[in-house]
């Protein structure tokens, strides 16, 4: 037997390991230091989705992961190839998304010599990953890959980067492909202790006016069934964070929709009137609490989270449990006594009636963004996976495209990454080929990753790009209007291309909507189109997202309409 | 205010940088640092003297514990260090969850 033929190199073993982990797609962009890996991929059943920019690859992997719950895999080369993924890795880290990023690296002998396309990617990425590796022995590859997949999608998920020098992936592999993981410091708690469950149940059973606050963690732990059970058993309303959309059906009468800075008025009113907040997999961030010192001081707080470091980070809870939300809720529900809370639910109904979420139509048949998003919602009956960028369109989509099912809202929450929505939609469509995937994007963000039009067309992915074009960076402009006396600085998107022509240049179908009279028909036609398409909706230039809680202020400072007096620039965050 | 942290962690490349990043991000400065390897260099023990906002100290400990390499991160009370075997009483690897 010819022994030469049976020895694989590091890259081939790497691909074997990825296959073993069930990887279907790799989102990547090639380059010198990654040559051995791309060569090994040539013989693999894993499909390479070649992108047009590494940032696109990382967002695609992210969208794939959020739509399927499986880690997305990125493969890029060293130096600029790797640094171009940094935004995408940070986006995944902020939103707890499982992702494996494989980066080529210069040969080990040249590390630290400023070699061609050398960057200290291990060091650069350290602050924005759950964990990372620089592999210095070919024999370590199987163990590192096994550990990376374990770390990325257990506990609180997050990206793991593996930096792979070219000599390490080229060298013959002589180790054990089944080598065990060595993670003595890694703890992923699942079950909470009985005492925490008792403490939470006692608070709940004593509460007359509870509100459930469902965050992304409720979705990550696949606890939407348990959230519903808890809500119905308690007879309590459910609000959700931006990333918690889908943890509880937003079209249900018990849903308050999203809370916080641009949340519904009735959600924020409920937060101010409740006596107990049951936070499930949420991190009480500044978009939700406004100001943690003033956040619902009269309400008790329960916090359920798998990450011990989240407990007490921003809001000090009165009771908490650390572990998997699904398992914790299953235990908790057993301890809940049925209490009549009809009075509280009537109050919630009254809030909804007095402060409804609505929008006004503009005159002369000009389009508003809200109207366009609402039309897309109605045309699909809400049955679609929606991805977004960040900004006004994102907030309007969160408000008016109600999410009823898990894994159908994919948005850059913590990071607020422009250019995320469209590539994320490509990844989501690959993961869920049967679903309608709509990327609701703004004219600013879309241009950051629009080169991926090629990727959608080449792979025949029928994503629908709903481009809300107001020719401004709208949310920043809104701040400048309200707080800075209309001194518009760095927000005008003058020189936007003809987006329909742009789509056509890449071989993609384009639709234009300018007037409300044609909205319904064009939207229906575009969404029914079998291939990928871009729907360019030209909306009024200056419109603001309300309700709005100025950054750093408490929820009772919520504005429902434009302020009549000049507002001071808020001190809190951005 | 000066605080002391006792850390045990898997001695992997970069683990010290990860620890330093957690402190830096929360405004903590390292005044003194001492490390020692044990179990054939597979593990390290670190004693840190740090200063920073006292209200962030618990978060610092939690974020240190969260690092994949870190086996445990505890506040260390200097006065107890006089007691023989105190350092060894901090649990290591296998029996730590």
Mean pLDDT calculated for residue range A507-527: 97
Residue from A384, A383, A386 nearest A421 by CA = A386
Binary contact (A185, B68; C-beta < 8 A): yes
User: Average pLDDT, stretch A403-423?
Assistant: 98
Residue written as token pair 């010290």: B16
pLDDT of residue A432: 98
- Does pTM surpass 0.90? yes
Render pLDDT for A212-221 as a digit per residue (tens, 0 to 9): 999 999 999 9
- Give residue for tokens 């593996």: A162
In the predicted model, is pLDDT for residue A65 greater than 80? yes
Residue B76 has pLDDT above 80, yes or no: yes
- Asked if A185 reaches chain B (Cβ–Cβ under 8 Å), the answer is yes
The beta-carbon neighbor of A126 closest among B18, B58, B94 is B18
Q: Which two tokens stand for residue B10?
A: 């898997």
The answer to whether B45 faces chain A, any CB pair under 8 Å, is: no
Report ipTM for this prediction. 0.91
Helix (H) or strand (E) holding A520: helix A516-528
Distance CA A475, CA A442 (A): 11
The CA distance from A187 to the nearest CA of chain B, in Å, is 6
Enumerate residues 6+ apart whose C-beta is below 8 A from A434: none
pLDDT digits (tens, 9 = 90+) for A532-562: 999 999 999 999 999 999 888 888 889 998 8
> Shortest Cα distance from B10 to chain A (angstroms)?
7
Q: Does B24 touch chain A (CB under 8 A)?
A: no
Q: Residues for chain B: how many in total? A: 97
Cis peptide bond N-terminal to A547, omega within 30: yes
Structure tokens at A145: 């890959």
Mean pLDDT of all residues in A388-410: 98
Cβ pair B65:A130 closer than 8 A: no
- Which pLDDT tens digit goes with each residue over A119-144? 999 999 999 999 999 999 999 999 99
Percent of chain A with pLDDT over 90: 90
A348-370: pLDDT as tens digits:
999 999 999 999 888 889 999 99
Q: How many helices (H) and strands (E) does chain B have?
A: 3, 4
Best residue of A111, A184, A189 to probe chain B, by most B CBs closer than 10 Å: A184
Assess whether pLDDT exceeds 90 at residue A207.
yes
Percent of chain A, pLDDT > 70?
99
pLDDT classification of B96: cutoffs 50, 70, 90: very low
DSSP state of A531: S
Looking at the predicted structure, is the pLDDT value of residue A427 above 60?
A: yes
Measured between beta carbons, the chain A residues lying within 8 angstroms of B41 are none
Q: Tell me which of A41 and A187 has the higher pLDDT.
A: A41
| pLDDT higher than threshold 50 for residue A279 | yes
Strand A210-214 and strand A238-240: the pairing is parallel
On chain B, the residues whose CB falls within 8 A of the CB of A309 are: 59, 62-63, 65-66
- Burial bucket for residue A116 (CB in 10 Å: 0-12, 13-18, 19+): exposed
């Amino acid at each position: 037997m010819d022994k030469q033929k049976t020895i694989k190199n590091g890259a081939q073993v790497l691909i074997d390991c990825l296959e073993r982990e069930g990887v279907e797609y790799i989102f990547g962009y090639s380059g010198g230091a990654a040559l051995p890996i791309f060569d090994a991929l040539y013989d693999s059943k894993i499909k390479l989705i070649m992108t047009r920019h590494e940032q696109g690859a990382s967002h695609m992997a992210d969208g794939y992961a959020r739509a399927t719950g499986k880690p997305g895999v990125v493969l890029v080369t060293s130096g600029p190839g790797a640094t171009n993924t940094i935004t995408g890795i940070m986006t995944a880290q902020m939103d707890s998304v499982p992702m494996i990023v494989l980066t080529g690296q210069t040969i080990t002998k040249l590390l630290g010599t400023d070699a061609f396309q050398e960057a200290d990617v291990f060091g650069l990425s350290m602050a924005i990953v759950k964990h990372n590796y620089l592999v210095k022995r070919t024999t370590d590859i199987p163990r590192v890959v096994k550990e990376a997949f374990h770390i990325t999608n257990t506990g609180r998920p997050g990206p793991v980067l593996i930096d792979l020098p070219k000599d390490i992936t080229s060298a013959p592999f002589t180790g054990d492909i089944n080598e065990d993981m060595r993670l003595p410091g890694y703890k992923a708690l699942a079950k909470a202790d009985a005492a925490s469950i008792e403490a939470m149940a006692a608070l709940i059973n004593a509460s007359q006016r509870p509100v459930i606050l469902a965050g992304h963690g409720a979705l990550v732990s696949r606890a939407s069934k348990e959230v519903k059970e808890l809500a119905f058993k308690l007879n309590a309303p459910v609000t959700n964070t931006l990333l918690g959309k889908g943890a509880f059906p937003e079209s249900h009468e018990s849903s308050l929709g999203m809370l916080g800075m641009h949340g519904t008025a009735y959600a924020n009113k409920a937060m101010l009137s409740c006596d107990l907040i049951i936070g499930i997999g949420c991190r009480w961030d500044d978009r939700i609490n406004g100001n943690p010192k003033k956040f619902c001081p009269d309400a008790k707080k329960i916090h359920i989270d798998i990450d011990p470091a989240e407990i007490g980070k921003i809001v000090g809870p009165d009771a908490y449990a650390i572990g998997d939300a699904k398992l914790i809720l299953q235990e908790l529900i057993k301890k809940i006594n049925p209490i009549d809370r009809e009075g509280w639910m009537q109050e919630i109904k009254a809030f909804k009636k007095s402060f409804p979420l609505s929008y006004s139509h503009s005159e002369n048949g000009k389009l508003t963004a809200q109207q366009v998003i609402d039309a897309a919602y109605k045309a699909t009956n809400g049955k679609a996976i929606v991805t977004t960028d960040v900004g006004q369109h994102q907030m309007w989509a969160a408000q008016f495209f109600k999410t009823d099912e898990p894994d159908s809202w994919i948005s850059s929450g913590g990071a607020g990454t422009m250019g995320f929505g469209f590539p994320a939609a490509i990844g989501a469509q690959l993961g869920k080929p049967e679903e309608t995937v709509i990327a609701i994007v703004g004219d600013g963000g879309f241009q950051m990753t629009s080169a991926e039009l090629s990727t959608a067309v080449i792979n025949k992915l029928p994503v629908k790009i709903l481009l809300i074009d107001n020719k401004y960076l709208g949310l920043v402009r809104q701040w400048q209007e309200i707080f800075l006396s209309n001194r518009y600085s760095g927000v005008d998107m003058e020189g936007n291309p003809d987006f329909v022509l742009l789509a056509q240049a890449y071989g993609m179908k384009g639709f234009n909507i300018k007037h409300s009279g044609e909205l319904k028909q064009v939207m229906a036609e575009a969404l029914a189109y079998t291939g990928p398409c871009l729907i360019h909706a030209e909306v009024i230039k200056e419109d603001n997202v309300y309700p709005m809680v100025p950054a750093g202020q408490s929820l009772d400072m919520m504005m429902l309409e434009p302020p009549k007096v000049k507002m001071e620039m808020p001190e809190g965050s951005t | 205010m000066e605080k002391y942290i006792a850390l045990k962690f898997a001695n992997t490349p970069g683990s010290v940088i990860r620890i330093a990043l957690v402190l830096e991000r929360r405004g903590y400065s390292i005044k003194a640092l001492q490390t020692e390897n044990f179990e054939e260099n597979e593990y390290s023990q670190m004693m840190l003297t740090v200063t920073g906002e006292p209200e962030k100290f618990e978060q610092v400990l939690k974020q240190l514990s969260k690092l994949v390499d870190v086996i445990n991160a505890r506040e260390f009370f200097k006065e107890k260090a006089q007691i023989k075997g105190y350092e060894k009483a901090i649990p290591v690897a296998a029996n730590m969850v």
